[in-house]
Amino acid sequence: MNVLFTICGRAGSKGLKGKSIKHFLEIPIVYYSISAIVLYKNNYPEDRYYFVLNTDSAELIRIVNLQSEIEFFTIVRDETLSDDNVPKVSVIKDCLLKSEDHFNLDFDMVIDLDITSPLRSISDIKKAVEKKKLRNDIDVVYSVTDARRHPYFNMVTEKDNFSVKVIPSMYTARQQLPEMFDMNGSIYVYSPNALKSKPSNVFFNDNCASVHVLDTGVLDIDSEQDYELMQVIAPYFFKNHSGYKDIYALAEKISIYSYNVSDTL
């Protein structure tokens, strides 16, 4: 099976400026995703893996190129895909099409690991991959956690100058509610055919599946508050959760080696 791993980062983030090139616990945040890829391919060598970086950030390219664990095919993102309103699925599709041309082959699966979700495990990725392998009718498998808020119970919106429930209901206790989950933005396993044929703006409206992962408090880093809070939370998980610990250890090793080498150049 030909598997394409994608790492995508935009220079013009509004929620947290420069989030793709930030250091997280003194390690470039992108190295956590790279570490996850390295450990995954080492643990599951039966497939053939290819790697692409898609970005409009020269600094992110520089940081990724400092490490020597993986050689990435780098796509300098077109301006038409760098706008705030462009769905990330459009960028993943761009990765797929250009990688097919670059590597001269067809892919069976595309796995995207979000740069700003450093807390994930190899077993999380494997669960998503296995679910996708079992279901040809699924367009994408993504990671979720238990929902902290519920649209039937304690999520509200503004309407006619009042705050109202997102979905009006008669429920009086959480135990009565239908099960709900939050997409945590960490792992996406795509069907290449769906990426090519399904409109990006409605991609997640149907034919999707999910895998449950550990709730780490912050789903993905998208604001200064997320960034500060996650750095308080993450050391606990890196110390006490073996799946996260392995990725942290490799990310730290990559960071130390990469920056020591760059200092001698």
Residues in the chain: 265
* Model pLDDT, residue 264: 42
Cβ proximity of 36 and 42 under 8 Å:
no
* Model pLDDT, residue 148: 84
User: What are the beta bridge partners of residue 210?
Assistant: 142
The angle at the Cα of 237, spanning 234 to 239, to the nearest 5 degrees, equals 110
**Domain spans of the chain, in order of start:** 2-144+183-264
| DSSP line for 67-125 | --S-PPEEEE--GGG-STTS-HHHHHHHHHHHHHHHHTS--SEEEEE-TT-----HHHH
Query: Which helix (H) or strand (E) covers residue 37, if one does?
Result: helix 30-43
* Model pLDDT, residue 14: 66
* Model pLDDT, residue 85: 84
Query: What six digits make up the tokens of 179?
Result: 């099960």
Walk along the chain (265 residues) in steps of 10 and give the mean pLDDT of each run.
Answer: 96 78 95 98 97 96 96 94 89 97 97 95 97 96 91 90 91 85 93 96 96 88 91 95 95 88 48
Q: What are phi and psi of 154, to 5 degrees?
A: -140, 30
* Model pLDDT, residue 265: 38
CA–CA dist 105, 108 (Å, integer): 10
With tokens 């495990």, the residue in question is 121
CB neighbours of residue 231 within 10 Å: 16
Closest to 192 measured CA to CA, from 120, 97, 256, 118: 97
Measured over the CA atoms of residue 39, residue 45, residue 47 and residue 50, the dihedral's sign is positive
Measured over the CA atoms of residue 186, residue 191, residue 196 and residue 202, the dihedral's sign is negative
CATH fold of the domain at 2-144+183-264? Spore Coat Polysaccharide Biosynthesis Protein SpsA; Chain A (3.90.550)
